[in-house]
């Protein structure tokens, strides 16, 4: 059930259930304050600081940061001050974007934008669901800060001697250990739990941190024990999670924090808190904590690592904010090669240039620097391989190049990879470089690439044709909802239609939620002389609900320029929606007089003709 914002006489914004108008949950700030921050935060400027956008008509297009895609379907409208992805359906206004991208609550997003826009926020007036969530986040952050300090103290105590010896034997200096806040979790399996209980935290909040396990039979215990601890920090250097390396032979060797209110592993990178500003010399991506720490100690403070999981498109978009070039420095074993091959396309899609650092004969950067030196590692950076030729070299391992059939298969695979370059000049440059490397006639190879392009175009056409029929079928099944969405889109884009449409269609004629709620707010705005879709989106509580609302305002409609065609389309939509509304009402009433009145209204629809004034 959707919740939307209303504004009371006291000026405070409150959430109201669409079907339960009396249920209210107070917000922190008045609607006027929220709207001032929104109006002073241009959505194009804000989003373009996170992802690359290109002008496309009246809007801007880019690769969606919320799902993996090759063709831009993420649209940002400066006029409507909203975004919408036609691929995954994510959408909203500037607040929604920050909440989704940065994993913030609404008040946190509001406060961040207010700070950037120079808007002074009043004291928070009330409490509610957002306040509870914010308080929970702050308390979890406090617990993680205490835990990090506790682990650090344990490392430097008598109980941490073995762990400290391990780190020193890994050739980490005292300064490096302190810089990264490394620590130790005691052998006692409820050591941290007892410490937190003494600090006054109850089990309800401790259970939300991911630091403890709770068993009905065995009671509470620590998730991490007898491990070297690696604090994971966000971009504001707040501890949000831990990684733990076991002391001994227990499994798993490395254990990581689960996702919590403050930690989303797909949107964070270990060591990124030490990166400040845009780095022209690039960022190095490693596999593990120790690789990052060893590189930083050797002077390469631009090293980061993913967090115990496969590299994600969100992490690629995050890196784009800090650099245009990424150096992959994964382990040289099979798993490292697979990880590199997965990461390359995601980084390219985010608009990042990718190069691969070769570690052979050593396994990882930590081992490389120990055996050689920082100077030798810099040489490897300087000679890092172009990601395309790295992929080609890995591909070649699967074929016997002395066998004509095998070599032909390899050439076909290579030709297919050339099609990943959308820019024709760039594609030609790579094809020519490939031909020089492998002694192939350029024209022959280009012909092979064209053959693959034609074949892929045919497959794409058939898929689009199939998808089109599927959408057409869905549209027929849900025609009234589509009309409701299109009509709201038209009204939001052309206020001049409002006076004409409102004579025949009122908010109550919209049959479904959230169309009816949105129509009610849109009509109220239009009566005031202007329509602000982004303001309406702010009235919905969750990111999911805001995405639904944004989708309604971003219906892809065939452009109708001729006035006559536009009138025809508008008349059909109004008649269809009004008839559906009257049909619904006729099924719900039992009074004969009212039923007769509805029948008369239906008859009038047959002769309805709306004229659009130019």
**Which range scores top for mean pLDDT: 214-218, 289-293, 463-467?**
289-293
pLDDT surpasses 80 at 21: no
Mean per-residue pLDDT over the chain, rounded: 81
Q: What is the per-residue pLDDT for 469?
A: 52
SS3 track for 418-481: HCCCCCHHHHHHHHHHHHHHHCCCHHHHHHHHHHHHHHHHHHHHHHHHHHHHHHHHHHHHCHHH
Q: What is the per-residue pLDDT for 158?
A: 93
pLDDT surpasses 90 at 70: no
Which residues, in sequence order, are CB contacts of 405 under 8 Å at separation 6+?
none
pLDDT surpasses 70 at 561: no
- 124: tokens are 């928070």
Radius of gyration from C-alpha coordinates of the chain? 30
Q: What is the per-residue pLDDT for 389?
A: 85
What residues pair up with 59 in beta bridges, in sequence order? Answer: 56, 77
Residue whose tokens read 């305002």: 553
Which residues, in sequence order, are CB contacts of 36 under 8 Å at separation 6+?
119
pLDDT surpasses 60 at 453: yes
Of residues 321 and 124, more confidently modeled = 321
Least confident of 181-195, 351-365, 404-418, 444-458: 444-458
Query: Count of alpha carbons within 13 Å of 561, Cβ hemisphere only?
Result: 0
Residue whose tokens read 């050591």: 191
pLDDT surpasses 80 at 536: yes
User: DSSP string covering 183-240, please?
Assistant: EEE-SSTTHHHHHHHHTT--HHHHTTSSSEEEETTTEEEES--SEEEEEEE-TTS-EE
**Among 6, 76, 70, which residue's Cα sits nearest to residue 44?**
76
Within a 10 A sphere around the Cβ of 398, how many other Cβ atoms? 10
pLDDT surpasses 80 at 597: no
Specify the 3-state DSSP secondary structure of 248: coil
pLDDT surpasses 90 at 143: yes
Of residues 167 and 611, more confidently modeled = 167
Local confidence band at 242 (pLDDT 50, 70, 90 cut-offs): very high
Least confident of 115-119, 241-245, 363-367: 115-119
Question: Helices H, strands E: what count in the chain?
Answer: 25, 19
Least confident of 148-152, 197-201, 364-368, 477-481: 477-481
What are the strands, taking DSSP E only, across 259-377? 283-286, 303-305, 325-328, 353-356
Local confidence band at 123 (pLDDT 50, 70, 90 cut-offs): low
Of residues 285 and 535, more confidently modeled = 285
d(CA 228, CA 586): 71
Q: What is the per-residue pLDDT for 223?
A: 92
Contact present, 302 and 325 (Cβ < 8 Å): no
- 355: tokens are 């190069």
Q: What is the per-residue pLDDT for 1?
A: 37
Of residues 407 and 590, more confidently modeled = 407
Q: What is the per-residue pLDDT for 25?
A: 29
CA 167 from chain center: how many Å? 36
Helices (H), 70-173: 94-102, 106-117, 129-155, 161-169
What residues pair up with 57 in beta bridges, in sequence order? Answer: none
- β-pairing, 59-62 with 74-77? antiparallel
C-alpha to C-alpha distances, 87 to 50, 110, 212, 348, 422, nearest whole angstrom: 19, 27, 38, 19, 20
Q: What is the per-residue pLDDT for 140?
A: 93
Q: What is the per-residue pLDDT for 563?
A: 55
d(CA 173, CA 178): 9
Whole-structure pTM over 0.95, yes or no? no
Q: What is the per-residue pLDDT for 250?
A: 76
Of residues 176 and 121, more confidently modeled = 176
Of residues 168 and 541, more confidently modeled = 168
Q: What is the per-residue pLDDT for 23?
A: 25
Contact present, 24 and 127 (Cβ < 8 Å): no
pLDDT surpasses 50 at 214: yes
């Amino acid at each position: 059930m959707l919740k939307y914002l209303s504004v009371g006489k006291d000026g405070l914004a409150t959430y109201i259930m669409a079907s339960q108008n009396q249920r209210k949950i107070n917000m922190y700030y008045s609607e006027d304050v929220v709207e001032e921050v929104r109006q002073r935060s241009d959505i194009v400027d804000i989003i373009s600081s996170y992802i690359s956008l290109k002008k496309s008509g009246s809007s801007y297009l880019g690769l969606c940061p919320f799902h993996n895609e090759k063709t831009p379907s993420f649209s940002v409208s400066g006029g409507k001050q909203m975004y919408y992805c036609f691929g995954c359906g994510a959408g909203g206004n500037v607040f929604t974007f920050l909440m989704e991208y940065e994993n913030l609550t609404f008040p946190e997003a509001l406060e961040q934008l207010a700070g950037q826009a120079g808007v002074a926020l009043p004291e928070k007036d009330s409490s509610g669901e957002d306040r509870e969530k914010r308080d929970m986040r702050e308390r979890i952050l406090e617990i993680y800060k205490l835990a990090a300090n506790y682990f650090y103290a344990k490392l430097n105590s008598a109980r941490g001697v073995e762990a400290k010896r391990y780190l020193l034997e890994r050739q980490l200096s005292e300064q490096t250990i302190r810089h990264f806040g490394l620590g130790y979790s005691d052998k006692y399996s409820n050591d941290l739990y007892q410490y937190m209980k003494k600090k006054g935290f109850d089990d309800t909040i401790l259970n939300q941190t991911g630091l403890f396990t709770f068993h009905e039979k065995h009671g509470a215990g620590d998730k991490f024990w007898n491990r070297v601890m690696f604090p994971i920090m966000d971009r504001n250097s707040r501890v949000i999670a831990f990684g733990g390396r076991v002391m001994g032979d227990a499994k798993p060797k490395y254990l990581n924090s689960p996702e919590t209110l403050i930690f989303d592993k797909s949107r964070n990178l270990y060591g990124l808190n030490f990166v400040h500003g845009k780095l022209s010399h690039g960022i190095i991506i490693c596999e593990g904590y120790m690789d990052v720490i060893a590189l930083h100690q050797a002077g390469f403070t631009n090293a980061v690592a993913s967090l115990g999981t496969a590299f994600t498109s969100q992490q690629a978009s995050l890196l784009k904010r800090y650099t245009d070039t990424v150096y992959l420095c994964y382990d040289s074993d099979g798993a490292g090669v697979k990880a590199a091959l997965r990461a390359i396309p995601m980084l390219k899609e985010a608009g990042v240039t990718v190069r691969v650092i070769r570690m052979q004969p050593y396994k990882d950067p930590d081992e490389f620097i120990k055996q050689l030196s920082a100077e030798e590692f810099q040489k490897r950076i300087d000679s890092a391989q172009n990601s395309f030729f790295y992929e080609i070299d890995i591909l070649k391992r699967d074929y016997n190049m002395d066998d004509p059939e095998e070599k032909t298969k390899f050439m076909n695979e290579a030709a297919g990879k050339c099609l990943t370059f959308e820019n024709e000049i760039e594609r030609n440059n790579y094809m020519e470089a490939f031909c020089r490397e492998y002694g192939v006639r350029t024209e022959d190879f280009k012909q092979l690439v064209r053959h693959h392009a034609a074949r892929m175009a045919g497959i794409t056409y058939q898929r689009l044709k199939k998808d089109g029929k599927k959408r057409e079928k869905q549209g027929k099944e849900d025609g009234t909802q589509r009309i409701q969405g299109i009509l709201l889109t038209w009204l939001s884009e052309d206020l001049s239609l409002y006076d004409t449409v409102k004579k025949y269609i009122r908010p109550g004629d919209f049959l479904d939620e959230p169309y009816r709620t949105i129509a009610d707010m849109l009509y109220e705005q239009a009566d005031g002389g202007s329509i602000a879709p982004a303001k309406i989106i702010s009235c919905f509580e969750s990111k999911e609900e805001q995405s639904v609302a944004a989708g309604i305002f971003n219906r892809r409609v065939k452009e109708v320029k001729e006035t006559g065609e536009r009138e025809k389309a508008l008349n059909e939509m109004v008649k269809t929606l009004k008839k559906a509304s009257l049909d619904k009402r006729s099924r719900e009433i039992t009074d004969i007089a009212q039923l007769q009145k509805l029948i008369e209204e239906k008859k009038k629809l047959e002769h309805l003709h709306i004229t659009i004034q130019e």
